[in-house]
Amino acid sequence: MSEAVDVASERADPNAPMVCENLLRPNKKISLNDFELMTVIGRGSFGKVYLVRRSGTENYYALKKLRKDVVASRNLFIKTQAERDILEKIDSPFIVKLHYAFQTPAKLYFVMDFLNGGELFYHLRKDTKFSERRACFYTA
């Protein structure tokens, strides 16, 4: 089954209760239905990252989807919760901001800033090591 079909079927399931938390406006619920999926922009060991657009706006985000069964099977509850807590608390122009966090019975979703260019780890793995000048740029 393709990922687009998987997301669409989850979205269309009327029996899938949405446990939602909107970090920007706690009184307003948010769900996958509030976003238009554009494309897959990354794949990790236990999730995928999509480029999404907030419905009715021109705001683009990176939506990270984690499968709860994989998080559970790899005993990553603490790591996943720590990631969410850290992203929620940090307010820096140099670190992606977590805008929304919500879940369905089977998946966790983090909606963050979309920054074109990829992860720092991707570039480090590709180049093996950074020049001193490039390392100074990233640390500055």
pLDDT band at 122 (very low <50, low <70, confident <90, very high): confident
Spatial contact of 96 and 115, defined as CB atoms under 8 Å apart: yes
pLDDT band at 74 (very low <50, low <70, confident <90, very high): confident
Record the tokens describing residue 69, joined without a space.
């069964």
**Confidence (pLDDT) at 21:** 60
**Confidence (pLDDT) at 1:** 39
Q: Give the count of domains, the chain.
A: 1
80 Cβ neighbours under 8 A, 6+ residues apart: 66, 71, 108
What's the CATH number where 82 sits? 3.30.200.20
What are the backbone dihedrals phi and psi of residue 63, each rounded to the nearest 5 degrees, phi first? Answer: -110, 115
Task: Name the residue with higher pLDDT: 40 or 120.
Answer: 40
Is residue 111 over pLDDT 50? yes
Enclosing H/E stretch for 139: helix 132-139
**Residues 1, 90: Cα–Cα separation, whole Å:** 37
Residue 134 structural domain? 3-139
Record the tokens describing residue 24, joined without a space.
């920007």
What average pLDDT does the structure give for the chain? 83
Q: Compute the CA torsion angle 122, 63, 46, 33 (nearest 10 deg).
A: -160
The whole-number average pLDDT for the span 52-73 is: 93
Lowest mean pLDDT among 22-26, 84-88, 115-119: 22-26
**Confidence (pLDDT) at 55:** 94
The whole-number average pLDDT for the span 88-109 is: 89
